[in-house]
């Protein structure tokens, strides 16, 4: 990986900071008229997800991070690892529980996810914005209540629990927004 100088800093650039891969979120140029120029940079640590701020002297360079975002198909989970496949090469990657994190609540086999690779191994997994999942458990709704717009918890096939309208039953397939974990509607067949 090459080095990047502060004037190449752009949001989205992946760099190494204190041994961890980070993604630049924001880069502000600060310079007293006669004085030293700085870059006040906001970064997200891609391992921990934490956002940090760091002030660089303009012109300093830091090492780029070997981080690559790639669309992959989710295959299966064997209890220890989650397996993803590159659609072009069929190459498979195994992701640890740390890398998958809460995304596991939205992973349906054969869905396409964005897998962030760091030095070739999955660092994190981003689910599709919308997923369609089956309800495996929910209290039977009282049909008469729908006018009130009430909701009830429903457990989905992946283990996630979302609030759904009362008229939905076990076996129904619903569409969920994975960014908010909210019910979007019934899946159209």
Partner 1 sequence: MRAELFAYLRTFFAEQSVLEVDPPCLAATTVTDLNIESIKAQMGGASGYLQTSPEFFMKRLLASGLGDIYYLGKAFRDAEQGSRHNPEFTLLEWYRVDYDEYQLMAEVESLVCGAFSRLRNSTPRVARTSYGDCFEKSLQLDPHTASLEVLQATAVNQGYKDWANETRANCLDLLFSEIIEPSLPKGLVFIYDYPACQAALAQTYQDEKGRLVSRRFEAFLDAVELANGYFELRDAQQQNQRFNEDNRLRARAKKPVMATDKHLDRAMQVGLPSCSGVALGVDRLLMQLCGVSSINEVLAFPWERC
Which residues would be at the binding site for partner 1 (CB under 8 A)? 7, 28-38, 40, 55-58
CB of 47 to partner 1, least distance (A): 20
Nearer to partner 1 (CB atom), residue 28 or residue 139: 28
CB of 56 to partner 1, least distance (A): 8
Q: Work out whether the CA dihedral 28, 32, 33, 37 comes out positive or negative.
A: negative
- Which one, of 49, 53, 40, lies nearest residue 6 by Cα? 40
Nearer to partner 1 (CB atom), residue 31 or residue 179: 31
Contacts of 2 (CB under 8 A, 6+ apart): 64
CB of 5 to partner 1, least distance (A): 11
Nearer to partner 1 (CB atom), residue 38 or residue 81: 38
Nearer to partner 1 (CB atom), residue 29 or residue 76: 29
Q: Work out whether the CA dihedral 99, 104, 105, 107 comes out positive or negative.
A: positive
Torsion of CA 118, 68, 18, 104, to 10 degrees: -60
* Geometric angle at alpha carbon 124, from 62 and 13, rounded to 5°: 30
CB of 41 to partner 1, least distance (A): 12
């Amino acid at each position: 990986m090459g080095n990047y100088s502060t004037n190449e800093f752009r949001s989205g650039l992946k760099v190494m900071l204190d041994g961890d891969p980070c993604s630049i979120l924001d880069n502000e140029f600060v310079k007293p008229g006669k004085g030293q120029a700085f870059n006040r940079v906001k970064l997200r640590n891609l391992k921990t997800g934490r956002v940090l701020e760091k002030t660089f002297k303009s012109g300093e360079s830091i090492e780029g991070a070997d981080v690559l975002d790639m669309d992959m198909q989710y295959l299966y989970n064997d209890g220890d690892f989650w397996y993803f496949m590159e659609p072009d090469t069929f190459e498979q990657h195994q992701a640890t529980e740390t890398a998958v994190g809460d995304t596991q609540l939205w992973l349906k086999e054969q869905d396409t996810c964005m897998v962030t690779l760091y030095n070739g191994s999955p660092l994190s997994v981003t689910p599709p914005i919308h997923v369609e999942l089956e309800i495996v458990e929910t209290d039977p709704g009282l049909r008469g209540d729908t006018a009130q717009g009430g909701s009830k918890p429903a457990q989905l096939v992946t283990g996630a629990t979302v609030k759904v309208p009362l008229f939905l039953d076990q076996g129904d397939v619903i569409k969920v927004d994975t960014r908010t974990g909210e019910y979007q509607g019934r899946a159209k067949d």
